[in-house]
Structure 1
Amino acid sequence: MKKWYAVIGSPIDHSKSPIMHNSWFEQLEIDATYIPIRVEPENLEEALHAMTILGCEGFNVTVPLKEKIIPFLSAIDPSAQAIGAVNTVKKTENGWIGYNTDGIGFVKAFENDFGKSLRMAKGLVIGAGGAARGIVDALKNSGYMDVDITNRTLERALVLQKEFRLANVLEWRNIRDLSMYDFIIQTTSNGLRSSENWPIQFDTLKRSCKISDIIYNPWETQFLHQAKQHQLDVQNGLGMFVHQGAESFYLWTGQYPNTEKIVSVLETTLGGNHVNR
């Protein structure tokens, strides 16, 4: 019997996950399919019950359900426990088990594009929401020990600093000079806004500073546009999206898919190059 997997959330029509996972099933000759399912928060429990009855093997979770799904799962992996959010669910004999592959997906993409030498470098994470939590957790677990954080709401940044033992918290309005940083990771929706909303002065950055923004739609955020104007190496969120998906795929199937090939496919679909040097 053909196995099936899904991504749930709302909205969901824009998701590129079906293209990605169905390509991997075809390449690896796995008799399975992956579909998008729109689920509103108030219908989540009912949807999970239906997916169980219909034999779903596993699914991804996107906004606004990553935190809301936790009470309905049998257990969650330490990766999700530390972050407080789930993006991957796997069917087991003991029920649904939740995981979070976002953070490790980011680190794999970051190191694939920029190498592992930055583990010993000084970095700054912008943001203190769910995405930042996952990325900070994965960075620390991967050996990035000198990471600072900044956020518009200082209190939220201080919570992450204490929880993940980050080096320093920078006040949002006092971060104009960032010449000490070797990489900067932008995790918020602020990257979509015009540069006048940013206190950062890009001309103070090292020419070697690497800039990452986890958004990939639009392809080039205003944040990345400004960085490119200053001839900095930049990376958008497509690599993170692909690698977090690959980690989910591995949890479900025990096989790790070809990430390079699907990046090329999605770059063609979206019309750009996710890393610019």
Structure 2
Amino acid sequence: MFEQPLSKYAVIGDPITQSLSPDIHNACFHQMEMEANYDAVHVRKEELAPKVKSLIQSGYKGFNVTIPHKVDIIGLLDEIDPFADAIGAVNTVVVEGSSLKGYNTDGPGFYQALLQVHPFNLKEANILVIGAGGAARAIVKTFLLKGIKKVSVTNRTAGKAEQLLEGSSGLLLSLEEAEANLGQYDIVINTTPIGMVQNLHATPISTEHLESHTDVVDIIYNPLMTKFLKQGVEKGCTIQNGVPMFIYQAALSFELWTGMKPDLSLMKKTVEQKLGGK
């Protein structure tokens, strides 16, 4: 009797050692008794093309793409999903033979996560997004494609934020303007790395004018409770960390590769156990 060949998947990025993607995907493969494995592969910016070629030659069936490759990977693809094309960034690649197709599960994953804390009238919500990097781009473009019209973006440099709102009625605000008007928003989302383990005591914006009716969301998941989220709790706000977005985007990638839905509760439990809390 022949053994089933091992299906190989990975996440590529720089840095990559901190990624919990191998933990959650391998936990699901194990639970579902699949002959599959998921690795973290360190790929520097200048070696993206040869490393991707090497993955294909080594038989990988798919891989996730993280910082700093989400835009550059597009030039190596044979096909791109229209949604990912509209976002302008790819975080999931499906390998079919020697052909590569790119998708973006960050935006849809975040949207699913946000429905947990704001399930009603999300399309009517007044939303502030802090930051203008790759994650912000996916989130803002998803909002606009879903028909959410009241989207404002604030960022330390205006140029990148302007690109996010191009062709929409969204507002670009300075940090000072956003801080002064924080109480008018239904949802405030931090997409910057400010508040991560390396910068625990910083917040992306002053919460002085934050009010309890606002949902405060931080896409950071390590630590599970950033200073920004703590300040939201102090103001009586509903909060959400980055774990739901992380597991939803991962689940969508898993489904693209395997055609099967993974156990979201197992993914969540795995992340929380690795980070030592809830």
TM score, norm. by length of structure 2: 0.89
Matched, 1:173 2:180: no
1:123 aligns with 2:127: yes
2:186 is matched with which residue? 182
Q: Does the CA contact (< 8 Å) of 2:106 and 2:245 recur in 1? A: yes
Q: Tell me by how many angstroms 1:56 deviates.
A: 0.7
The letter for the 1-side match of 2:35 is D
Question: For residues 121-270 of structure 1, what are the structure 2 equivalents within 5 Å?
Answer: 121-163=125-167, 165-175=168-178, 176-192=180-196, 200-202=206-208, 204-270=209-275
| Structure 1, 138-147 or 48-57: larger mean CA deviation | 138-147
The yes-or-no answer on 1:87 pairing with 2:103 is no
Which deviates further from its counterpart, 97-106 or 118-127? 118-127
What amino acid is aligned across from residue 95 of structure 2 in structure 1? K
Residues 54-110 of structure 1 deviation map (CA, whole Å, 9 limit, x = unaligned): 111000111122222222221221222222221111012460111111111111111
Contact 1:154 1:172 in 2 (8 A): no
Secondary structure at 2:166's aligned position in 1?
helix
Q: Give distance in 2, aligned partners of 1:48 and 1:201.
A: 43
CA distance in 2, matches of 1:177, 1:195: 23
Contact 2:224 2:241 in 1 (8 A): yes
Specify every segment of 5 or more residues in structure 1 that has no aligned partner in the other structure, as ranges.
none
Q: d(CA) in 1 for partners of 2:54 and 2:231?
A: 46
Report the AA paired with residue 174 of structure 1. E
> Following TM superposition, by how much is the alpha carbon of 1:183 offset from its aligned partner in structure 2, in angstroms?
0.7
Distance 1:119 1:157 in 2: 21
* 1:63 aligned onto 2:61: no
SS in 1 for 2:251: helix
* Identity %, equivalent residues: 41
Find out whether 1:74 has 2:78 as its counterpart. yes
* 1:14 aligned partner, one-letter code: Q
3-state secondary structure, aligned to 2:222: coil
Contact conserved, 1:182 with 1:206, CA < 8 A, in 2?
no
Structure 2 residues without counterparts, runs of 5 or longer: none
Aligned mates of 1:206, 1:108 — CA distance in 2: 24
1:32 matched residue in structure 2: 36
Equivalent in the alignment of 1:53? 57
Kindly tell me: are residues 194 and 248 of structure 1, through their superposed partners in 2, closer, same or farther at Cα, counting changes over 3 Å? closer
**Does the CA-based 8 Å contact 1:10-1:38 persist in structure 2?**
yes
Residues 83, 130 of structure 1: 8 Å contact kept? no
Q: Distance in 2 between matches of 1:52 and 1:167?
A: 40
For 2:203 and 2:192, how far apart are their aligned partners in 1?
13
Q: What is the SS of the residue equivalent to 2:165?
A: helix
Distance in 2 (alpha carbons) for counterparts of 1:191 and 1:18: 23
TM-align CA RMSD: 2.0
How many pairs does the alignment contain? 271
Deviation sequence 1:141-193 (CA, Å, 0-9, x none): 33422211111112332222224x14322222222232211111111123456
Q: Which residue of 2 aligns with 1:105?
A: 109
Instruction: Give the 3-state SS of the residue equivalent to 2:239 in structure 1.
Output: strand
C-alpha change, 1:262 and 1:194, in structure 2 (3 Å) is closer
